[in-house]
Amino acid sequence: DLSSDRAALLALRKAVGGRTLLWNATLQSPCNWAGVRCENNRVAVLRLPGVALSGNLPNGIFGNLTVLRTLSLRLNALKGSLPSDLASCVGLRNLYLQGNFFSGEIPDFLFTLRDLVRLNLASNNFSGEISPSLNNLTRLRTLYVENNQLSGSIPELKLPDLAQFNVSNNLLNGSIPAKLQTFSSASFVGNSLCGKPLSLCPGNNVTIPSGEVNINGNGKGKGLSGGVIAGIVIGCVVAALAIIILLIVFCRKKRIQKTSSVDVAALKHPESEARGEKPAETENGRHNSNNNGFSVASAAAAAMAGNGKTEVSNNGVDGVKKLVFFGNAARVFDLEDLLRASAEVLGKGTFGTAYKAVLEVGTVVAVKRLKDVTISDKEFKEKIEAVGAMDHQNLVPLRAFYYSRDEKLLVYDYMPMGSLSALLHGNKGAGRTPLNWEIRSGIALGAARGIQYLHSQGPNVSHGNIKSSNILLTKSYTSRVSDFGLAHLVGPSSTPNRVAGYRAPEVTDPRKVSQKADVYSFGVLLLELLTGKPPTHALLNEEGVDLPRWVQSIVKEEWTSEVFDLELLRYQNVEEEMVQMLQLAIDCAAQYPDKRPTMSEVTSRIEELCRSSLREDPHPDLVKEAD
């Protein structure tokens, strides 16, 4: 129970000291001691990295910590062999002992801890051979034993989940087993090993097609016949050729498509071609088919011409034939200018189509043509004026609107960097700027503040359509929330499934949204930011996952770091903040609305964790853990 856990921790403190001496032994519960985390009133996590622990770990301590799941004693000065009662921690999943002076063989009892997922024994003085009993650890994903004195050959390992592996800088010899040859040479250097990915083993006679190729330097295993190898080589060449041909065909097709859409644009708007403008957004190829050059004028004019009138004749809400501007916005253009502007399609959304319009004076705006507006003129005017009155640095400002029976236009500031969706999923190729933690957490914070502002306008004010294509970015990557207030303008016929991946489980009618439903959608958005994965788009049948369920299943398995976008994992020193953000995202995406935090709680939690990643901590090792 907890008291024996406590006694064990005090015994540990007595034996190896270090900064555990700061633990307040007058407290009955050890659960608040630095580095200790309890679950169900037992010590489940003990993380004491870099706290100057020294000496031998005696037997009789870990035998009591029977529900320990994570043990990190990395970067200390512990020596001797590992205590055998560590074998009692049968639920141990993460064992980080790197950066100490442990010596002796890697003890066999470790191979009985069948739940181990991460095993890091790197940078110690372990010697002896790597036992084939490692294969008992069927859940192992990380095996780091570099920088030790391990000798002998590497056993055949059949660990299906092994994703991180390093045996470099030991005294190993022989050939690298086939199953491990997918790891890079950095995992093996500094030994006398041979074979892929290092150089060929000496004395191997590679005679194709009839000879035997002994890929196992110590001669224990079976060789592959030359015929098989020749087959593989020929197969690979054929496959590579096929891929190249497919790529060429695909690229040519794309080019043809692109040219033709530019042609259409050029026909209508030679000036847009002259400027070399390209459609701004082609995320997931979703909007490609919409990228025909087009003008607001031709669209609006077509609608109006249908009325048999040459001028904008169907009056605006107040009987005025002009754009209605909000606030003190500079009225640098009027409806005529807008209709004359050259435009290109940005994309089709739930509420209509968005265009980028370049006015003759050079001003660039985004124009949204609404469809399916079913509410009355009066109601529309009231609602849109409420939208126009919103003013916050993290909202995309609505500058003006036009309303007639046939045409409803909303004019927004144009956001040059496009949407978060495009940024995350758009260009995965070589030219991509990696999105580091600073940018991502800044985007999360800005979006949270924007939504919080909306919610502060009244208990019934909500966004209703939070998703990554509605988070737009300025040149300095400040995020601005767009599309607010529109969920209440449209009729039920609009396609609700587009937001499926973000929609809270209790929202069955897309117009009946709430602040707590926004919080859910924001949680999914955070998960998208952290994982780099788009949530399911059921209707469009796009590839995707039910993000909250997927993340929860992984976190439950203690594989938390598996969920993060690979691009983020480069920034090891912020993993603690990433984990906190992940926890916040999971809280937001709770199934029951009451369990979700409010948007202002969300904002302060993000502010707090952004601060902590900037702050210099006096005892970074006690509170931060990069495991």
Annotated binding site for ATP: 368
Q: Residue from 146, 344, 407, 483 that binds ligand ATP (CB under 6 A)? A: 483
Q: Rule CB under 6 A: is residue 478 a binding residue for ligand ATP?
A: no
Q: Rule CB under 6 A: is residue 412 a binding residue for ligand ATP?
A: yes
Q: Rule CB under 6 A: is residue 528 a binding residue for ligand ATP?
A: no
Q: Rule CB under 6 A: is residue 354 a binding residue for ligand ATP?
A: yes
Rounded to an integer, what distance in angstroms lies between the CA atom of residue 603 and that of residue 444?
A: 9
Residues 550 to 609: which contact ligand ATP by CB under 6 A? Answer: none
Amino acid at 97: L
Cβ–Cβ < 8 Å for 466, 518: yes
List % helix, strand, coil for the chain (3-state, nearest 5): 40, 15, 45
Interior angle at CA 354, CA 545 and CA 261, nearest 5: 90
With contacts defined by CB under 6 A, name the span among 384-392, 410-418, 425-433, 519-527 that binds ligand ATP: 410-418
Q: Which residues pair with 126 in a beta bridge?
A: 104
CB burial class (10 A; 0-12, 13-18, 19+) of residue 429? exposed
CB burial class (10 A; 0-12, 13-18, 19+) of residue 64? buried
Q: Rule CB under 6 A: is residue 349 a binding residue for ligand ATP?
A: yes
Structure token pair of residue 425 = 């999923």
Indicate the residue among 217 and 501 with the shorter CB distance to ligand ATP: 501
Rounded to an integer, what distance in angstroms lies between the CA atom of residue 26 and that of residue 23?
A: 9
Residues contacting residue 248 through CB under 8 Å, at least 6 positions apart = none
Structure token pair of residue 622 = 């006690």
Strand, helix or coil at 196? Answer: coil
Strand, helix or coil at 533? Answer: coil
Q: Rule CB under 6 A: is residue 531 a binding residue for ligand ATP?
A: no
Residues annotated within the binding site are: 368
With contacts defined by CB under 6 A, name the span among 167-175, 257-265, 326-334, 468-476 that binds ligand ATP: 468-476
Name the residue number minimizing CB distance to ligand ATP. 349
Residues 276 to 315: which contact ligand ATP by CB under 6 A? Answer: 281
Residue 167: φ, ψ to 5°? -125, 20
Q: Which helix (H) or strand (E) holds 352?
A: strand 352-358
Rounded to an integer, what distance in angstroms lies between the CA atom of residue 499 and that of residue 463?
A: 13
Residue 439 C-beta: closest distance to ligand ATP, Å: 17
Rounded to an integer, what distance in angstroms lies between the CA atom of residue 502 and that of residue 621?
A: 37
Q: Residue from 216, 470, 531, 560 that binds ligand ATP (CB under 6 A)? A: 470
Beta strands in 34-100 (DSSP E): 36-39, 42-47, 54-56, 70-72, 77-80, 94-96
User: Positive or negative CA dihedral for 453, 456, 461, 464?
Assistant: positive
Distances (CA, A) of 458 to 12, 281, 454, 577: 55, 34, 8, 31
With contacts defined by CB under 6 A, name the span among 37-45, 456-464, 465-473, 530-538 that binds ligand ATP: 465-473
With contacts defined by CB under 6 A, name the span among 200-208, 227-235, 306-314, 348-356 that binds ligand ATP: 348-356
User: Positive or negative CA dihedral for 22, 25, 30, 32?
Assistant: negative
Residue 486 C-beta: closest distance to ligand ATP, Å: 7
Indicate the residue among 425 and 516 with the shorter CB distance to ligand ATP: 425
Residue with tokens 């737009």: 472
Q: Rule CB under 6 A: is residue 400 a binding residue for ligand ATP?
A: no
Residues in contact with ligand ATP, total (CB under 6 A)? 23
Q: Rule CB under 6 A: is residue 419 a binding residue for ligand ATP?
A: yes
With contacts defined by CB under 6 A, name the span among 246-254, 259-267, 315-323, 463-471 that binds ligand ATP: 463-471
Q: Rule CB under 6 A: is residue 462 a binding residue for ligand ATP?
A: no
With contacts defined by CB under 6 A, name the span among 8-16, 191-199, 454-462, 464-472 that binds ligand ATP: 464-472
Residues 355 to 394: which contact ligand ATP by CB under 6 A? Answer: 366, 368
Residue 280 C-beta: closest distance to ligand ATP, Å: 6
Rounded to an integer, what distance in angstroms lies between the CA atom of residue 255 and that of residue 244?
A: 16
With contacts defined by CB under 6 A, name the span among 4-12, 16-24, 41-49, 406-414 that binds ligand ATP: 406-414
Q: Residue from 279, 347, 485, 535 that binds ligand ATP (CB under 6 A)? A: 347
Classify strands 94-96 and 70-72 as parallel, antiparallel or unpaired.
parallel
Interface mask toward ligand ATP for 231-270; x: CB under 6 A = ----------------------------------------
Residue 398 C-beta: closest distance to ligand ATP, Å: 9
Q: Residue from 350, 452, 531, 560 that binds ligand ATP (CB under 6 A)? A: 350
Q: Rule CB under 6 A: is residue 401 a binding residue for ligand ATP?
A: no
Q: Rule CB under 6 A: is residue 424 a binding residue for ligand ATP?
A: no
Strand, helix or coil at 251? Answer: helix
Binding site for ligand ATP (CB under 6 A): 281, 346-347, 349-351, 354, 366, 368, 396, 412-415, 418-419, 465, 469-470, 472, 482-483, 498
